[in-house]
Structures are given as structure tokens and as C-alpha cells.
Structure 1
Amino acid sequence: MKRLSTVAALATMLAVGTADARGPQEPWTDDFDSRVQALALLESLNADLLSHASATLTLERWCGDHRMADTPKIVANRVQGADKALPEGARAELGIGADEPVRYRRVQLACGGHVLSEADNWYVPSRLTPEMNRILDTTDQPFGKVVQALGFRRQTKSADLLWSPLPKGWENGAILPPSKKTLLIIPHEVLQHRAVLYTAENQPFSLVVETYTAEVLTFPRSR
């Protein structure tokens, strides 16, 4: 697992409860303060995701805490017709043989029109209830909510920061990007998690690869 830099104290200081608590708001400008705040927020989101089994519920809290929507509710927009081969080694991770059927589901998790993550999900239908399979086959409901009754736990295999607002070693005097008056350019993909979900009986039933987008920062920064 790629180790993410630790800025926990700053992340706590910047944690957002309400817009009023943040005080005056500014756009994300390309300067040191914005980059430090963006890094702290990504670290905070990453820690929250790692400490909870359901990414869907975590994103819903994130959306509400940062007032990204009038009603902070995650909507899963299923990408119809999408298909992707099971990653190499995934059958061993899921504890299944070569002939065990596996289904694939790709969804975009959105809140208030913001696509916060794009998730690839391979799951073993024989380890879900018939009703769960029916819902997954016929609706766009988030996977985590559909299988919540399994009392599942999540084991993260990797958590990679795909974009760092500051260079490695910035806290030890590394050369920093020059400050500009323009807006900070944030790439589409900022964070990626790979995880296996297990039932309460410790049986693996799903492999997920979740890619979090720049829209997790679609709110003004603190001043």
C-alpha cells in the first residue's frame, strides 16, 4: 500500500461541520494555502474511508458535512452495458474457483450533481440473497446499501493518493510550486482504493476498486 503523508492535525483543524463554521469562503487558488488545505482534506477523506466499511455512507456524510447538496443523499448511477474482466488474482482473493459465476457492476456515486467516485465492483452472486441480487440487477441502488444486511466488513488492499497538491518532502523544505493567482488545477482522479468485502461469517463476496474524483473538493476552501 502506498503510504499517504500524515497531516492529521491540520486535517482536524480544517474538518468542516457547516458552511458557517468555515467562515469566509474562497475558491481553490493555485497557492500554498490552497494546496495545504486540499492535501489535508484528501487525507481526512482517506482516513474516513479507511475507518468505515461502506464508502457510500462515508461519502454521504462527506457531502452533508461540506454542504455540497441541499439533501446530502448519495445516488448510484449505474453505467449500463459496462463490462470489465476480473483482475488477475481476484478469484483467489474471493476464495472462488475458475467456474464460479462473478457479476460486474460499474457505478458513479453522486451527491447533489457531483460525481464523487467511480466504482468497479465484481461480486459473487451465490453469496448474496436472491433479493439482493434482484435489486442489484434491476436498480441503481448503491451496492453498500443493498448488501448492508450481511453485516459486512471491508478489508482495504491498497489506498493510493493519485494526486498530491504538494511535492514529496514539502514539509522538509522541498521546492514548492510557485504561487499563482489562477485557479488550482485538480486532475479528475485524486484517490483510489482497492478493497475486498467480507460477510459477517468472514466469507469474501466482493472486490471493489473505487476511484475518487476532483469533485470531492467541489466546495470553497476556508480562508
Structure 2
Amino acid sequence: MRKLLLLPLALMLLTVVANAREPAGPVWKDTALERAQVLALLQTLNANLLSHSSATQTLQEWCDAHRMAAEPKIVAHRVLGEDKPLPTADRELLGIGPDEPVRYRRVRLACGDWVLSDADNWYVPSRLTPEMNEQLDRTDVPFGTVVKSLGFHRQTLSAGLLWSPLPNGWETDAQLPPPTGKPMAIAPHVLEHSAVLYRKDNQPFSLVVETYTANVLAFGPRPIKP
């Protein structure tokens, strides 16, 4: 009987967890000014990511500059139980043969309550230290933080906006969407980067695909002073 009474409570708790969402951030309005502000922010973040070797460090600076949490610190949350084999063509990018072991790691990088990016990472464990491999296996520490001592740099394969608040050609003759003043409909994912990471001896050791969420804009627009 006791088990029967506890079952509805357990189901209710599971429902609450399943429906849990990130808190709502400040709303960007569908106006010409705020569309331009959002585009400028996305282009700024895109440029910052392209000019730095560590996406983790770039997001840390973004989180801090925009005061996105009481403690503006990037934390990695590992997604366990997933495995994506590295495509054969991408093995050539890493300079490895068909039998070289490759590990897969997926994390979500968050600032406070906001998940800012989903990162898929394939890496060659033989090109890292045993301590690094153990830390990657057992902890949630961001990949860039773990391998920082390698003095690595990255070669971007692709980078760009997945969504834009303004249409292509907006700066010339494309028709702009009429402002509604309502909350702006922002796509769930706004940027995507893929890159190969190289040690300081120019040996590739990792392929990363980083998808950035609309939460990079969660701090909202700055108030316009009169």
C-alpha cells in the first residue's frame, strides 16, 4: 500500500523535472533598433570566437562582461551515454589512421542558469597526457581548460550565424521586416563553429563542433537613456 501511495508522488516529481526550463530572461522587442542590436551582438560574439583559441575562455569573458550570473563562471555539464563515431573523412583532418582510438565527449557550457553552447568533441587520447585523459573521463571540466597546458591553437573549418534578426542584404535593398513591438522570435540556436585543435608542435588532437544557443542574448537590451 505504501508503495502505491508513493507512486503518484514519484511520477509528479519526474514530471516537474522533465518540464523544468531555464528562467525567462529579459525580452528583446521586435523593433528596428533591437534587431540591429541583436545582430551586432551576434557578430561581436562570432568575431570574438574566431579570434581566440579557447571557446570556453571567450564565453567566460562574455558571461562576465554581460553580468549573466551572480557568479559569472562558465561550467561544463557533461552529457553522458551518447557516442558519435568520428566520420572517416574527419580522421584525415586529425592525421590518424582507421584504427587509432578516438574518444567522444559532449558538454553543455553554462553561465549560471543559462546554457550558452552545446559542444561535440572528438579527441585523440594518445596525444594528450594520462592526467588529461583521466580528467576528461571523470570530471565536467571544460575541454579547453583541461588541455590548456598544451598551448593549443585552433584552425576554424566553418563559422557563421544560424539565424539573423535581419534578412540577407538588409544593408542594401532587401525589404526589412515591419516592426511589431512584440517579443522578438529568436531561434533556439544562433551560431555554429567547427574547428580542429592543434598542439604547439602543430599536431592535431581534437575536432570540435560548437553550437551556440539563444541564451547568449539572455541579458537583454540596454536601456536607452534620454
Common fold by TM > 0.5: yes
Looking at structure 2, the residues matched to 139 and 217 of structure 1 have their Cα atoms a distance apart, in angstroms, of 28
Looking at structure 2, the residues matched to 183 and 124 of structure 1 have their Cα atoms a distance apart, in angstroms, of 44
Report the RMSD for the aligned CA atoms in angstroms: 0.9
Aligned residue number for residue 182 of structure 2: 182
Aligned residue number for residue 81 of structure 1: 81
Contact 2:46 2:160 in 1 (8 A): no
1:74-95: CA deviations, max 9, x gaps? 0000001111121351100000
Which protein shows a greater Rg? Answer: 2
Aligned residue number for residue 63 of structure 2: 63
Worse-superposed segment, 99-108 or 29-38: 29-38
Instruction: Give 5+ residue unaligned stretches, structure 2.
Output: 1-25
1:195 is the counterpart of 2:195: yes
Looking at structure 1, the residues matched to 130 and 102 of structure 2 have their Cα atoms a distance apart, in angstroms, of 15
Contact 2:88 2:98 in 1 (8 A): no
- SS in structure 2 at match of 1:171: coil
Within 5 Å, which residues of 2 pair with 1:82-161? 82-161=82-161
Aligned residue number for residue 205 of structure 2: 205
Looking at structure 1, the residues matched to 87 and 75 of structure 2 have their Cα atoms a distance apart, in angstroms, of 26
1:52-109: CA deviations, max 9, x gaps? 0000010000000001011111000000111112135110000000000000000000
Aligned residue number for residue 214 of structure 1: 214
1:125-172: CA deviations, max 9, x gaps? 000000000000000100000000000001100002100110011111
Identity over aligned pairs, percent: 65
CA drift of 1:44 comes to 0.3
Looking at structure 1, the residues matched to 44 and 108 of structure 2 have their Cα atoms a distance apart, in angstroms, of 21
Looking at structure 2, the residues matched to 75 and 131 of structure 1 have their Cα atoms a distance apart, in angstroms, of 20
Aligned residue number for residue 5 of structure 1: none
Contact 2:110 2:116 in 1 (8 A): yes
Aligned residue number for residue 162 of structure 2: 162
Q: Count residues with an aligned counterpart.
A: 198
| TM-score, normalised by the number of residues in structure 2 | 0.86
Instruction: Give 5+ residue unaligned stretches, structure 1.
Output: 1-25
